[in-house]
Structure 1
Amino acid sequence: CSGEIDIAWGDVPPPIESPLAVDTASGRGYAMFGLGAGSSWQDVLDVAEGLGGIPATLTTPEENNFVVTHMTPTQVGGPTAIGLVQEGDDEPLGGWRWLTDEPLDWTNWRTGEPNETPLGEDFGMIYPDGTWNDQVNAFGNVLLEFEDPSEVLERQSELQDGGTGSAYQAILLPSPVGWNEAAGYAESLGGTLVDFETAAEAQWVFDRLGSLTKLWSQSFYNGGPWTGLRLENGTWTWRSGATLDWVPWYPGEPNGTGTVASFYNINGGPKLTLDDTFESDARRGLIVEFPAVDASCPGDVNRDDQVNFDDLIQILANWGTCDNCDADVDGDDIVGFSDVLAVLTGWGACEQTP
């Protein structure tokens, strides 16, 4: 007997509400990202800088408890780094500091820690219960803190930077859904389940959204977010209609155990590998892709290839401060007279590009 049993949800902790936890009192956000087993402290710093955050500095019991409740740390894939480092030779208790140089007035070491066993435990990590441990220079995850969390779950791949022009959003649903339900939900938002037409696009999206640990089941079979890849007439095809022409599969996959694909890893954290699985299998996580806006027709707010009164109405309906909305034609986060001018300037049918 051979085959595969796909179980994404089993004996796992109570579900987290979102892959991003925002403290309404401080406005700061917290999210966990998978790094890959054995990642270094420099990797931690590089990921934090690239994503616009810092390794979390948990300076009070209240902040630490907020993280444990709303962004429970994980050990799936390896220890979770925080922004605590040790300098000097005053082992094991001396020299600890927050990398931001905030006062270390409160600590939450697990009983018997720090103990400098083995040697080289010069970095802080956090357990799921919120206690800390001194850790060698090897991590699997990082807990990041964001002063401005508004863009953590929504990322724009800019054409001028060599990107696709699409916007991408990470979503964690209240309960697990199958592939068809996930695809329908993505379409209800005006997008589709994500298409990775190139390996470069897949890497870009994974680094920013796919590696969010809370999009994954965090079980032995670590089922990650749904993608738009589907087997159609014997060919793996993206929602856009493009066929798969690179290799995103986990070793040994696809193995004929399904006709749709999700992120997947075995006994490890988030990884840029896919699994063929059944449409009825359950995932809470998905990544939605929103099509690139045609820069040749910026006044076409509703994207119907016409700049007319419908677009003007959209601008008037969104008048005022508007963060990352379609009516903000000039991208200044305010819908105002400059956006009206853009519509009037582009009035008429959009020019069709070949």
Structure 2
Amino acid sequence: MDLDRLLGQAVEVGASDVHLKVNQFPKLRRDGILQTVEGWPRLTEIDLYAALERVCKYDQARLQSFAGRGDLDIAYTGDNRLRFRVTGFKQRGHTSLAFRLIPGQMPSFQALRLPPGVERLANEQRGLVLVTGPTGAGKSTTLGAIVDHINRTRDLHIVTIEDPIEVVHDDHRSLVQQREVGFDTESFRLALRQVLRQDPDVIMIGELRDAESAETAVQAAESGHLVLSSMHTIDAAETVSRLIEFFSETKQKQVRSILAGVLQGVVSQRLLPKVGGGRVPAVEVMVANRRIADLIRNDESELIGDAIEAGAFFDMRTFEQALIELVVNGAVDSEVASNAASSKHDFLVAANHAVRVHAAAEKA
């Protein structure tokens, strides 16, 4: 099986992901829908092992580890220069591989259809900025776009800790050092302990996954660094609560006080089917202000949504406000948007009103 040809064919038709499974035709995901890659036979165990060897060609230790553990997470660049994040796993005794396309050239905020609040947060000098959302929501791309923006506009030292490295950043105005767990450093834990000794201005941690990474991120932000990371949470309120829950109950009051001072903002996103094909992000943006800080400090994160809704002056917007904007602009069908909203009925009432107001303004 020619792995690079298969992946290239999938990308040509707009695939974001490719799945390989023994005794199954290759599958691709396009616009969120799983479908068969045309012109390819069912895959054999030999095909999957050959693909696995190809992916691990320059990292035999990962290949040997997979044989014992049955799990793999690695970045792969083919001869056609297409780059993927690859997840390997065992199922029913057979090897399966999932490939996710990584953009070769980082799109701008505008090209990604990200709201102004994202660039506002990218321009911060210090503090903690989090990008959140479910798996497949484009968190890595948004984080990559923020790093790229800083790299092109400011003279800083950027250090990233990733597992694996997804978006590769060349040096522009900034000096960018990218460290891959298992390749450049033994573990996340060791890299996190060392990063503050490397004279960084900006630290990008691929994901806050436990108390240690959360504590390091908060400490680095508190000491004057700009810290970027991601979490698997759906909105700002849940993000704040989850971040605090990483810590023991005896520390949570102190952490809330620190977080109120260092958290600069949260970008929460989901991808929705776009009218005419493709997908578009619906993005909630929380930008820290005095009201947000008070809510965090006083353990009232359930009220953060209300503060975001009233925070347009600070480039904030809720997920529902983002959905309404997409409907008004004709990017997303109202039925699709309403299914993503927390209250379908309330959303449809608000969206229909916004569409009428927009139409009246267009006629005036």
TM over 0.5: no
Larger helix proportion of the pair: 2
Give the alignment's TM-score, normalised by structure 2.
0.28
Give the alignment's TM-score, normalised by structure 1.
0.29
* Greater RCO (Cα-Cα under 8 Å, separation 6 or more): 1
Larger Rg computed on CA atoms: 1
